[in-house]
Amino acid sequence: MMNPDGSEQVNLTQHPATDYSAVWSPTGEQILFTSNRSSVQDLYLMDPDGTNVRRVFKKKIKARRQHATWSPDGKQFAYNYLDWDRRKSGLYLGTFGEEDVEPLPYGNSPAWSPDGSEIACSVSHALGARLTFINVRTRDREQPLPDKVLPWQRLPSWSAAGDRLAISGNKHPIPAILDRDLHEAWRDKTTAYIVNRDGTGLRQLVEEAGHDISVAELSPDGSEVLYVQEINGNEQLFKLDINSGVRTQLTHIGALFHQANFQGDWFDPAYALPVSPQPHLLSTTWGELKKEKAP
């Protein structure tokens, strides 16, 4: 965990396993993450200070459960399911405290909309991947961004207003396996984009320079995007101001061995208050303020 400027970085998990894909609960009281500490990748919860780590599911399975997203009310979650042995993968919907899950239409990298009505995800096909919206109630799917505009559309992230998303994308068509020239044109060209919910206003945020850019996470107010890029052999977190184009490298770890810094998530108490006000996140409460001003 760190401040938005990269200062005061604190290591929350001390386990030798790989812990990644951490996402804040809507109120900031818990963190949901993926870990392989039980020999297979599965979902875990912990408190914001890294304590009270526990499995989401009591029943262990051989398949992977990973890359989860919270529902806005904090009661449910969607996640990726991957079973290599049975060659089965997809999205599932779970409820905290329950073992039963429900399959969703095919996709990966889910992101729940702020109003709770739909889940954004990426649906792969033979020539790329499409940004897809799944209606939580009806399970209907919508793909507003044509693949001819952006063949690769992956890893969606919502703004708090739900009016636009950040995505990772590659505008170059996927090359044939034996076409070396097209492979060179396609390689290391994945970068961060922003797009309106209806598929309009697609804009590239970062130049196609250096290694691939991935995991574009939009800040709650929609003004900044958090992304990952490899620098000198190590993945590092960067923050980009969407309006000014100024970027800031937030992590610099990994000088002595390969270290990955990736899959960050934002939390801003101001945007959590409409969900469930938390007194410990406020400088003062409204009741106390009224009391001080009363005659």
Confidence (pLDDT) at 283: 43
Contact 62, 41 (CB under 8 A): no
Distance between CA atoms of residues 53 and 49, nearest Å: 10
The alpha carbons of the chain give a radius of gyration, in whole angstroms, of 20
Give mean pLDDT, residues 181-199.
77
Confidence (pLDDT) at 82: 87
Asked whether the predicted pLDDT for residue 234 surpasses 60, the reply is yes
The gap from C-alpha 41 to its chain's centroid, in whole angstroms, comes to 17
The DSSP code sequence of 183-214 is: HHHHTT--EEEEEETTS---EE-S-S-SS-EE
* Single-letter amino acid code for the residue at 264: G
Asked whether the predicted pLDDT for residue 177 surpasses 70, the reply is no
Length of the chain counted residue by residue: 295
Asked whether the predicted pLDDT for residue 287 surpasses 60, the reply is no
Instruction: Give the single-character DSSP code of 270.
Output: H
Kindly state the percentage of the chain with pLDDT values over 70.
83
Average pLDDT of the chain, as a whole number: 84
Give mean pLDDT, residues 237-249.
93
pTM value? Answer: 0.85
Confidence (pLDDT) at 271: 85
Asked whether the predicted pLDDT for residue 185 surpasses 70, the reply is no
Asked whether the predicted pLDDT for residue 79 surpasses 80, the reply is yes
